[in-house]
Structure formats: C-alpha cells, structure tokens
Amino acid sequence: ARSPPTIHCKRSPQDLAEWNTLDIPLSGDDIFETHALEEFQNTDISGFRANTIGTPKRSATEASVVIEPPLKRRKLEVGTLRDVIPQPHIVASEMASVATKNSTSPAYSRTKPIPIPPHTLPLPDPPFARRSWVIPVRGTLPWQHATSAVVLLDPTDPNPPSHDDELAWTPPALSAFWSFLLKVRAKKQLGPLGLSFNVSRSHYSSANSNSQPAGTGTYTEYSVMGAQPVIPSLDSEPPSAVSSVRQLPLTVTTSVPLLSVDHIKVYHDAINSMVIRNVLDAWRFESGEMGSYKIRLLKGARLVLLDERSKGILVV
C-alpha cells in the first residue's frame, strides 16, 4: 500500500517565550507594524445617548411607594347609656281635647318613603291616630334600609350617616338632641308630643343575672315591633312555618328585637308625621367655642315610623 502524501510546512514553536526574554530571536508572527494594523474603532457613544433622550424618566415621587397612615380606630361606648341623658327618660304627651290641626310647616321630602308591608303609599292620616318616629342611638333597627348608629367614646365630633349608613353619636350630641326635643315639645306647635329614651336591655343583663340575654326575645316582642319571629331551625319546623320565614318582606329583618337597640321615640299625631320628620332632619348640633362647629347629624338618615302598636309603617 502506498503511504499518504506528506505536506511540508513550517511549525511554530509550542512553547511561549517568557516576558522580557531578549536572548530568543523573534519570529515573523511576533512582529507587528502599526501601518499594517486595521483602523481603530473610536469610543464615541453620543449616538447611543441621543437615542435615549426621548425616553421618559420616572420621577422619584412616582417610583416611591405611597404609604398612607393607618386609619385611627374608633373607640366605641359599649356600656350602658342610662346616665348619658338626664332623667326622666319618659315624657308623656299631653292629652288633646280636639283633633290636632295640620301644621303649616314644610313636610319632609328629602328621600322617598319605603312602605313596610302590608302598608302602601299614600298613608292615611286619621285625625286622632298616634304614631312615633324611632331615632337609633346605638345598634341596628330591625328593618332593612333603616340607619344604624354607634356612640363614640372619644371626645371627637359626631358624624352623620356616611356611605356605610351608620350614624355616629357622642354623649354631648345625645344630650343636646334630647334637650332640643324637650324644647320642641314645650312649644306645642306640632301638637302633643311624647318622648322616650329606651336603653337596650342587653346592657341590663350584665348587671342583673336574671335578665334576658342580649339578642333574644319572645315571639310577642317581635310581633309588637312589627317583625316576624326568628325560627332557630328550619328543618325542625312544619312547612307552614318555613314558608312564612322565607316569604319575609324585604323591609323587615329579624336579627335583633327593637328592645335590644338603644333608641329614642318621638310620639306625635299622625297628621304631622312628615312635618316632625323635617324638624328632626333640620336639627343642628353645635359644639366648640360660641357654637363654631355645627353639623346636621340626622341629615341623610333613614328613620322608621311606627303605628300605635309599635309596628313598622315606613322607612324614610
């Protein structure tokens, strides 16, 4: 067999010479001439910077995270309110010898009334019928759409109903409102008025072990206030009871009875119901030096109108 062809070429030394070694002659691969080198690429980056001029930059305020201060937690009064309003808490209305005349004062028309079944609009105004407005002080009234209320413990200003439909009282505001009602009653311009401040029975239970627990009530209590009784278990009740619960009107709730809610009642002749409602809406609470702070606490509130048997008629 013939051997493969041989190609003759020069080989470069495999070993690299040490730096600054002068006794070893340099080969042609180690010698470079400057005129034979390629043209040097400059480091001008102005073109690159020009491309970034139009790019918007985020400011320090936009890039930083906005941290809002935590909301101050409200301190609520949870004890009894018996001493907030001076005694007596029941002021009876005077007997009228003749039917009350319709007042010439403007009637309330800020919001549309919501009737509570079986009532419908317009409501009749019997000349000798008596009704009452319920103003919540603390708790949730047992009717839908009605405004709830709390009592603030902090010596801050009260607040009218906000987006969560909750009225925030303070002890000074409650005392001022009660004094206002007494003055309106004394003037006798809206017929014979009666007042009552009803303290929740749930706060008596802590002082009296024989008291009924908070949030419970007999069927009689529920029927008097115009709401249906709460049935603990639908599975253990007959079909008639189950259907009656499931067909409750939308304007009635059965969470707690009215006796478990701190509230004020204003008893009046039915013919002046909406006029008195307008008076309640216009009341202003004044505080600060020389009454510098004024606020209409009941502006935007939805109150409940009751009949002579304390059954709900409408929410307005």
The pair of structure tokens assigned to 69 is 């201060």
Consecutive H or E run containing 198? strand 194-198
pLDDT per residue as tens digits for the range 193-212: 999 999 987 654 433 333 33
* Burial of 105: CB neighbours in 10 Å, binned 0-12, 13-18, 19+: middle
The pair of structure tokens assigned to 8 is 């003759």
DSSP letter assigned to residue 103: P
First to last CA, the chain: 119
Question: Omega into 56 within 30° of 0, i.e. cis?
Answer: no
Of 40-49, 144-153, 216-225, 287-296, which one has max mean pLDDT?
Answer: 144-153
> Lowest-confidence range among 46-55, 129-138, 165-174, 179-188?
46-55
Residue 36, CA distances (Å) to 31, 39, 241, 246 in order: 11, 9, 108, 100
Q: What is the mean pLDDT of residues 234-255?
A: 41
Residue 89, CA distances (Å) to 37, 125, 200, 206, 315 in order: 109, 28, 13, 21, 24
The pair of structure tokens assigned to 99 is 């039917």
pLDDT per residue as tens digits for the range 270-307: 999 999 999 999 999 988 766 668 899 999 999 999 99
Beta bridge partners of 132: 267, 306
Closest residue by Cα to residue 133 from 229, 275, 282? 275
The pair of structure tokens assigned to 145 is 């759409």
